[in-house]
Amino acid sequence: MDNNDSKNASFIKKLTQLNLRIWKSAFNKTKPSLIAIGFGLLIGLIIMLIFDARDAFPALITLLLGGFNGGIKGIGDTLYMAAPIILTGLAVAFAFKTGLFNIGASGQMMVGAYVSIHVGVKWGFLGGFHWIVALLMGMLAGAIWGLIPGLLKALSNVNEVVASIMMNYIAGHIIILLIRNNVFNVNYSRSLNILRSAQLPMLTSIFPGSTANIGIILVIFVVIGAHYVIHKTTLGFQLRASGYSIAGSRYAGMNTKANIITAMTISGMFAGMAGAVALLVVGKNIGTSFEIFPQGFDGISVSLLGLGEPIGALFAGLFLANIRMGGYYMQLYSFVPQIIDMIIAVIIYVTAISVALQAIFKVYGDRIKIWWKNRKMKGVDK
């Protein structure tokens, strides 16, 4: 009996040590993002204290609670808002793995959104498969729009940042033209509502009164799939190798041009899916005035905050959507939701320099430890 107790105690001790190592490893990996979030919230609090010290702390709590302020409905709306943000963040992160900066997620999302709406309005004959085809066609459209800057980069060495951001404006103007000629609602100057059969299945039974749909569930599966592809497959290894060193991967016999094209195409597919998930809801429309979808640029923030990892993009997207929702509820106080943009901007800047900040903290932390140790030793000598 004592022997069994000893074995059980030893097993529990080893399991505890393993859990501690896992948590420590996870903390070290997420430390740059946690530092960035802390700085962003601190700067936001300072700004709120300057403008209205009385409401600053309650407003900050409201901001952090985000969608939880609205109960079940608020949580559902937050999940609906998070889905396209996570996907655009995943699109940017996936391109990062090949050393590419896909700043064209907005354009790819716009194209995916329009094609999904077009199918949702015109292809009612598909019946029960309507929403599935609309979603897949949106993903295909985004993939094609991401393929174009990928081809330009691979074949002509055109900078993907310039090419993809120009594709945003091309997408915006083409979509206005297409809406006015194909799916235009004359009374409201926007696209027509999609048919009910094209709407993604809603989650109103779980989140009553909200706009939550199965998009967030699909997103989780896509994120897991992207993580597996990047870290567990030959394709993922080649993409990461190209991201670390194009010259080195070319020397190793890899087809770097194909990797560039593949990465940008898959990246575009994720952004196109973001557009489909956001717009395949009855009552969600695209206007006929030029606008760049902001979720595409939020994707850059999500990718940086998620440290360029798919799983990181999932949690960063949920966080960003939550505080954006908190910004709406924060209007109950004397603050405008635009303060969220300032906080997010600070978070992104700090994320970019987080490695340097960690080095600074380490240096000064070591100095403080040495100073404290010397002080204690002097106290002992006395």
230-239 tens-digit pLDDT: 988 988 888 8
DSSP string for residues in 55-111: HHHHHHHHHHHGGGGGHHHHHHHHHHHHHHHHHHHHHHHHHHTTT-----HHHHHHH
Residue 59 counted as domain residue: no
Residues of the chain with confidence (pLDDT) below 50: 1
Instruction: Find the domain containing 244 and state its range.
Output: 82-316
99's torsion region: left (phi>0), alpha (psi -120 to 50) or beta? left
Number of domains in the chain: 1
Tell me what pLDDT residue 151 has. Answer: 93
Residue 49 counted as domain residue: no
Half-sphere exposure of 73 (CA within 13 A, CB side): 4
Residue 275 counted as domain residue: yes
Whole-structure pTM value: 0.85
Residue 311 counted as domain residue: yes
Residue 33 counted as domain residue: no
Which contacts of 123-131 are long-range, i.e. CB under 8 A and separated by 24 or more positions?
Answer: 123/198, 124/195, 124/197, 124/198, 126/197, 127/197, 128/197, 130/195, 130/197, 130/198, 131/197, 131/198, 131/199, 131/200, 131/201, 131/280
Residue 135 counted as domain residue: yes
Residue 62 counted as domain residue: no
Tell me what pLDDT residue 264 has. Answer: 93
Residue 71 counted as domain residue: no
Tell me what pLDDT residue 1 has. Answer: 47
- Separation CA 104–CA 352 (nearest Å): 20
Element (H, E) at 182: helix 160-182
283's torsion region: left (phi>0), alpha (psi -120 to 50) or beta? left
